[in-house]
Structures are given as structure tokens and as C-alpha cells.
Chain A
């Protein structure tokens, strides 16, 4: 008896989550980079432990501190054995990070056409130190990159909130402002909730708005309540 099984792909549809992480020198003070590292690690391990999903959650981390680099290429969350801590040093080449993100999103070998709409998360505590206009325009208007869901968090009072606001396209939470380490944790928890809720739903391509968890649950105790 003939079968159609041989023509079916044996990999689940990916749902890519791309984190653009500011790792400039200013992130090294007040425990910001430590909070970011812990929050990223928790997000990846939450993704990895989810089994009720209609998609394979994949994570990529692009850092921008001194230089912009793909710290972690798109990898299924359950295959990430450990997240190496991000160091914080140098300037804030956010424009170069946007360029790397656009390259990743537009590349159909990295993100196939069957993938669910990617989620891009931008985290920064400062102003860009490189040319940003062209790559920001590319990110907002690229054939595929214009279609992604974008969340943004500004850390501390020096963050470029205007730029982060222009980046984000979640109408219910345009930019999240982190004033202490705990807020970084809460933001990533909200991103984790949004992505897992989306990928469990019957319509995994629809972004779920960010809903920040209330302050004061047990996991929050690992974060020092220090203002930036």
C-alpha cells in the first residue's frame, strides 16, 4: 500500500526567538549583565522544558558590546546545554546588531518559509555608538523582517527610549523600562510566557501581548532589588 509519509518532513515548525542583547561596558555596572545572563538562562530552560507546544522553539542571541556578534546561532531550545555568560565591554554598535538580525531573518536556510513568525527582543541600556539609520530602516522594511514581532526593554535612565519605542511593535507594551535587576527578570518572564502561550495555541502565528508578572513571587528572590 502506498503511503504519503515519505514526503513529510520530520521536523516541527520552528518558532524563532532572536535576542538582541546590549553587552556594552555600561551593562557591567549595577548587576545589569548578571541579571540579563540569569534571565536569558531561565528563558531558555523554560522553553526547553515545555512539551505541550505546536512548534519547536529556537533561540538566537546577537550581542552588541564593542562589536556585534552572533553569540548563539538559531538553536532549538532543548538542544542548548548551557548559556555561556555574556561579558560586558566596549561601545554600543546596535546598528551592526540590527544588520546581523536582518541577515538572519531574511535567510530562508536559517528561518524557512514554514516557520512561525519570529519574535525579536531588543534589550539595551544606552544610545547606539554606530551608524543605525540604514540598518534600522532595513529591519523595519525588509521583505520578511518587517513581519516579525518586536519587543523592547530599556534598562536604566540612559536607555534610548525613543529608538526602543520605534523598534517595538507590541501595541499593548511599547517599551518596557527596567529600573532594577528584578525588572529584567520580569521582562524575560513575560517574553517567555508570551512565546509559550503563542506556541501552544491553535493559532501559533499570532503574537501574544506581553503581560508582566507581578513583583514578589519566589523566583524573584534570586535578584537583588538594586536600582540602576
Chain B
């Protein structure tokens, strides 16, 4: 079995124009021959949300590392720990730092889990079957639940079993997912898989960054982040 992971985050034209920082954060880390990934989208309306999103992905990495060996560890348990640790970092004053959080972890055997609080989309293929894990949102663009607000029932969670080549998990922030044609998310997933399969990790990241930078949806403005783990062999 060969697992490969990739990720990229680019600042959106709206923030570039306003000299604001990229409010998204992305994390791709390998450990114990598995992978841990996360993307977080800091709320545009909150002045320090770029720090909130960076902290969220760092906490995901630390929490997964700590809990992944525990037999009781589940996607929800890790998610609740991530939320609690994130909240603790701000001692009650987290309003300016609000962010979404999507994360996934896959071990060296291709088994793992994924979870999401807030906007964005999780796409997966397990046992050869493609699925969109995230339900369509009820409201409107950029009205999102945040990591701090997420109750147990708000988390979208899933276990993962990457049993065949082509299986994988892809996490994307709404700066990307809101502009994707809904009918062909599988094609989007497969294109990234093929790119990762046919090039090396560094080239794939460069390609992803170029694709996100040259986004073609008219008047698009959001920051864009993506991270994925795929089984290549």
C-alpha cells in the first residue's frame, strides 16, 4: 500500500486587494507512515481569524498525534478535543478568531476518520465508492457554523477505509467548493488523484497552487484551501 498526501492554500483576490492576510490555513503531515490533514477557513468578518485558522490546524495535528493510538479514539472524540483546546487557547475571548475546521487522519493501513465543522466540503472514495460526505448547506454563502459553535450533533464525521488504489479523502474550503459545478465533484476528486499519482508530491502541490491561483469563476474573491490523502497503490 502507498499513501500520498497533498495540500495547498492561496489568498483570494478580495483579501489580496485589501492587503489582508490569507484567512485560511492548511496542514499536511505524515506520521507513523500515515497522514494527517486539515483545512480551516477563518471567518472573513473577524479580524484575527487568520490566527484562529492557523491554530485550529496545529491543534488538529497535535490532538490526532496524541489520540490516534487510543482504542477509544473516534472522529467525534478528536473533534471535541480539538474544539476544547482551541477554545482554551483564547480564555473565553475567541470572537475575533472564529474559524471552520475540516480534518482527516489515515493510518498506514488506510484506516482512519474525517470530520467537519462549518462550511466547506469533504469528498471521499472508500472501497472504490465515491461519496460527498457534506450535506448541502441550508442557508447562503459564507453563513457558517464555526469550530467554537459546533455541538456534538453539528460535526459531520465519517470513518475511512482506503482499501483500493484511487481511494482517498479530500477536504476543501468553501472558497473552492462554492464555485464547483455540483454535478461533477467525482471528476474533480479523480483529477487531483491522477495528478498526484502521475507526479511527485512537490510538483502536485505546485500544480494545485497554480490551479487555485488561476481560478476562473467570475468575480471570485475567497481564499482557497485544499488537502487530500490518496491511496496510490
> Chain B binding site: helix, strand, loop or mixed by DSSP?
loop
Q: Which residue of A lies closest to B183 (CB)?
A: A7
Chain A residues with CB under 8 A of B130? none
Q: How far is the CA of A117 from the CA of B178 in the complex (A)?
A: 14
Given contact pairs A143-B138, A147-B139, A205-B142, A114 touches B179 in the complex (Cβ within 8 A)? yes
Asked if A10 contacts B187 (CB within 8 A), the reply is no
Does A215 belong to the interface (CB within 8 Å)? no
A contacts with B, residue count (CB < 8 A): 34
Residue ID in chain B nearest A55 by CB atoms? B219
B221 touches A7 (CB 8 A): no
Is the CB–CB distance between A4 and B219 below 8 Å?
A: no
Q: List 17 contacting pairs A-B, 8 Å CB cutoff, sorted by A.
A: A4-B191, A7-B188, A8-B216, A10-B218, A13-B141, A13-B219, A54-B219, A54-B220, A54-B221, A113-B137, A113-B138, A114-B140, A114-B141, A116-B141, A116-B142, A147-B139, A203-B44
Residues on A with C-beta less than 8 A from B181 are: 7-9
What mask results when residues 19 to 54 of chain A are scored 1 for a CB within 8 Å of chain B, else 0? 000000000000000000000000000000000011
Contacts of A1 in B (CB 8 A): 207
**In angstroms, how far is the closest chain A Cβ from the Cβ of B166?**
15
CA A56 to CA B217, docked complex, whole Å: 12
Interface residue? B143 (CB, 8 A):
yes
List residues of chain A with CB within 8 A of the CB of B77: none
The answer on a CB contact under 8 Å between A2 and B194 is: yes
Residues of A with C-beta under 8 A to B211: 3-5
Judge whether A203 and B142 touch: CB under 8 Å: yes
Closest 5 CB pairs of A and B: A205-B142, A12-B219, A203-B44, A114-B178, A202-B14
Known interface pairs A2-B195, A7-B180; A12-B218 also in contact (CB < 8 Å): yes
Q: Looking at the assembled complex, report how far the CB atom of B2 sits from the nearest CB atom of chain A, in whole angstroms.
A: 20
In the complex, the answer to whether A113 meets B139 with C-beta atoms within 8 Å is yes
Q: Does A110 contact B (CB under 8 A)?
A: no
CA distance A2 to B187 in the complex (A): 11
Q: Confirm or deny: B18 has a beta carbon within 8 angstroms of a beta carbon on chain A.
A: yes
Nearest CB of A to B204, in Å: 10
Chain A interfacial positions (CB closer than 8 Å to B) = 1-13, 53-56, 108, 111, 113-118, 143-144, 147, 201-206
Contact check, B191 vs A147: say whether CB atoms are below 8 A apart. Answer: no
Looking at the assembled complex, report how far the CB atom of B177 sits from the nearest CB atom of chain A, in whole angstroms.
9
Type the 1/0 row for B131-156, where 1 means its CB is closer than 8 Å to any CB of A: 00000111111110000000000000
A204 x B221 contact (CB < 8 A): yes
Q: Shortest distance in angstroms between B161's beta carbon and chain A's nearest beta carbon?
A: 26
Least Cβ–Cβ distance between A98 and chain B, in angstroms: 19
B191 touches A10 (CB 8 A): no
Query: B140, A147: Cβ atoms under 8 Å?
Result: yes
Contact A144 B140 (CB under 8 A): yes
**A205 near B219 (CB under 8 angstroms)?**
no
CA distance A4 to B181 in the complex (A): 11
Closest residue to B180 on the A side, CB-wise? A7
Task: Give the distance in Å from the alpha carbon of A49 to the alpha carbon of B217 in the complex.
Answer: 20
**Contacts A116-B142, A144-B139 given; does A7 touch B191 at CB 8 Å:** yes
Q: Which chain A residue shows the least CB distance to B186?
A: A7
Identify which of B18, B184, B187, B219 gathers the most chain A CB atoms within 10 Å of its CB.
Answer: B219
Q: What's the least CB distance linking B211 to chain A, in Å?
A: 4
Residue of B17, B185, B218 most packed against chain A (CB within 10 A): B218
| B188 adjacent to A202 (CB under 8 Å) | no
Contact A202 B219 (CB under 8 A): no
CA distance A54 to B175 in the complex (A): 13
Chain A residue contacts of B139, Cβ below 8 A = 113, 117, 143-144, 147
